[in-house]
């Protein structure tokens, strides 16, 4: 069982907006930055969001991250077929003294 909690699945049609949630506690999300990773089928994860809401330059601005208290969200607007992937959140956990992941959310573009 993962330390951070994500919904196992999410879906939307092309052009729609989708939000993926990530819930934690005061020892992880509540006191540390959140990271999001995209894992396309058969490939390694890629960093998509860091520092709660910062995007690497290669990530389209359709993707945005936010955090409030002990929860974080990844929002995707203008959904495209190439966005279909697994998305994982992560954060440092002060109690465990290491980074922890969410269980991942499989995004399906219908």
Residues 48-87, mask of contacts with another protein (x by CB under 8 A): --xx--x-x-------------------------------
Residue 65 in tokens: 């991250």
Stretch near another protein under the rule CB under 8 A, chosen from 20-28, 61-69, 72-80, 93-101: 93-101
Instruction: Evaluate whether 5 touches 105 at the Cβ level (below 8 Å).
Output: no
Sign of CA dihedral 110, 59, 38, 69: negative
Residue choice 9, 11, 40, 96 for contact with another protein (CB under 8 A)? 96
HSE-up (13 A, CA, CB side) for residue 52 = 13
CB of 29 to another protein, least distance (A): 13
Determine the Cα–Cα distance for residues 74 and 47; give it in Å rounded to an integer.
13
Residues making contact with another protein (CB under 8 A): 2, 33, 35, 37, 43-47, 50-51, 54, 56, 88, 90, 92, 96-104
């Amino acid at each position: 069982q993962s330390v951070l909690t994500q919904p196992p699945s999410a879906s939307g049609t092309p052009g729609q907006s989708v939000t993926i949630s990530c819930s934690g506690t005061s020892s992880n999300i509540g006191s540390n930055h959140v990271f999001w990773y995209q894992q396309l089928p058969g490939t390694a994860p890629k960093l998509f969001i860091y520092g709660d809401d910062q995007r690497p330059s290669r990530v389209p601005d359709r993707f945005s991250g936010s955090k409030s208290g002990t929860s974080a969200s990844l929002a995707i607007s203008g959904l495209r077929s190439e966005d279909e992937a697994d998305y994982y959140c992560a954060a440092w956990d002060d109690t465990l003294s290491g980074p922890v992941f969410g269980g991942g959310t499989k995004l399906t573009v219908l």
